[in-house]
Chain A
Amino acid sequence: GNSVTQMEGPVTLSEEAFLTINCTYTATGYPSLFWYVQYPGEGLQLLLKATKADDKGSNKGFEATYRKETTSFHLEKGSVQVSDSAVYFCALRLPAYNQGGKLIFGQGTELSVKP
């Protein structure tokens, strides 16, 4: 079946540390891949996306590359800030003919950045 697996949290880093959150997926066909972020008490915000193999999504210093050969979409940031503390969700979106085009989410990884 279709699924997303991301590394378990919580992840605690010091400010300016390098961040990697691993995400792998299983899907039939060619899904689009997304990272969403949820700040405390808030809704889900799109962080970045990639729609085909070898695409790199980037936003606010975060990057992720769609790797079809390893079915991965790892999130990276070179230097995290306290304000990056949030829960990060990896997700894939299936096309309409496959379960109606829904998003399938990973379980979320909580990131805490200490000053």
Chain B
Amino acid sequence: GAGVSQSPSNKVTEKGKDVELRCDPISGHTALYWYRQSLGQGLEFLIYFQGNSAPDKSGLPSDRFSAERTGGSVSTLTIQRTQQEDSAVYLCASSLGQGENQPQHFGDGTRLSIL
């Protein structure tokens, strides 16, 4: 389809393992965002990319979290040595640019469960 695609849709893993979450933005969208949604906590901003650059990494909760984007398209969010508090839905969004008139288009998220 033409929307933002995230994979996997669900991921269950053991504490201490590394996980990699993937986001395929809408073609032509230069801005890409990662959020974390925990129950009752709304959306927590993690990081955004303009092209392949990440001007704002301030939302990453710890050094176990990292993200990259290649070719101005696909992005991966990696969580190393996962902890139970990392359990959440991770949402990716993209927009035509970082400009104020551009609404963000969201994927359906990856539901991450750490056992």
Partners in one complex: no
Using a CB–CB cutoff of 8 Å, the interface residues on chain A facing chain B are none
